[in-house]
Amino acid sequence: GAGVSQSPSNKVTEKGKDVELRCDPISGHTALYWYRQSLGQGLEFLIYFQGNSAPDKSGLPSDRFSAERTGGSVSTLTIQRTQQEDSAVYLCASSIGRVAFFGQGTRLTVV
């Protein structure tokens, strides 16, 4: 596709369940970012992938969060044993140079 695609667009899950969020970056983009944004708050950096380098995981809030990027393309963010405070919009962005393009996000609600 022409832009960054994220799925699902909305996800409601029960507390304690695991969820997987998917990001399809723009073809050829070597860098991929995951951010989290709670209602009315700024972007919270989670993780950054750049080519074949080890990812920068410094923003992951706990060991319940993990992400992988297979074949340098699609990325999956996994949240295990979800908690209510995990409710937020999860945004993915990709870039090939110095400009990032964002997907429309996945709105996660933990009930």
Partner 1 sequence: RKEVEQDPGPFNVPEGATVAFNCTYSNSASQSFFWYRQDCRKEPKLLMSVYSSGNEDGRFTAQLNRASQYISLLIRDSKLSDSATYLCVVNRGGGGNKLTFGTGTQLKVEL
Q: Which of 1, 42, 84, 85 binds partner 1 (CB under 8 A)?
A: 42
Q: Find the shortest distance in angstroms from Cβ 18 to partner 1.
A: 25
Length of the chain: 111
Q: Between 14 and 98, name the residue whose CB sits nearer to partner 1.
A: 98
Q: Return the DSSP state at 16.
A: T
| Interaction mask 58-87, partner 1, x per CB under 8 A | ------------------------------
Interface region with partner 1, contact rule CB under 8 A, candidates 13-21, 67-75, 78-86, 98-106 = 98-106
Looking at the DSSP assignment, which residues form a beta bridge with residue 1? none
* Position 35 contacts partner 1 (CB under 8 A): yes
What DSSP letter does each residue of 21-64 carry, written as one string? EEEEPPTT--EEEEEEE-TT---EEEEEEETTSPPB-TT--STT
Closest CA to 66 of 109, 32, 21: 21
Query: Does 1 contact partner 1 by CB under 8 A?
Result: no
111 lies in the site for partner 1, by CB under 8 A: no
Nearer to partner 1, 7 or 53 (CB): 53
